[in-house]
Amino acid sequence: MDTYGIIALVVLLIAFFAAAFALKVLGNRAPRWSVLVVALVIFAFSFSINVGHSRELIGVVGFLRILGLFGITYGISVFRKKGKNRPSLTSMR
């Protein structure tokens, strides 16, 4: 792998961890179903991108699909938590 490929991979990894942290924050502050809906939208959006022969777009599509799958599994775990009161969107300040 050349230097450009390594830099692109590092940028995508940093973006993945930042987006996973954002999903975790969303799961803590928003209603239970919100993480699952956002993850499903991200995953579905990844199938609408035509990558062609661009390795950058292949990386972005892979990033979105992995993030979507991570968000779906995390969203299901948040949704299944029992006995914990979750705030609604109207009560957030």
Total count of domains within the chain: 1
Instruction: Record the tokens describing residue 38, joined without a space.
Output: 């956002």
Whether residue 53 is contained in a domain is answered as: yes
Whether residue 52 is contained in a domain is answered as: yes
Range of the domain at 34: 3-83
Q: Are 20 and 63 in contact (CB under 8 A)?
A: no
Give per-residue pLDDT as tens, 3-52. 998 999 999 999 999 999 999 999 888 888 899 999 999 999 999 999 88
Residue 51: helix, strand or coil by DSSP? coil
Whether residue 88 is contained in a domain is answered as: no
pTM of the model: 0.79
Whether residue 89 is contained in a domain is answered as: no
Give per-residue pLDDT as tens, 56-81. 899 899 999 999 999 999 999 888 87
Whether residue 70 is contained in a domain is answered as: yes
Whether residue 93 is contained in a domain is answered as: no
Whether residue 15 is contained in a domain is answered as: yes
Whether residue 49 is contained in a domain is answered as: yes
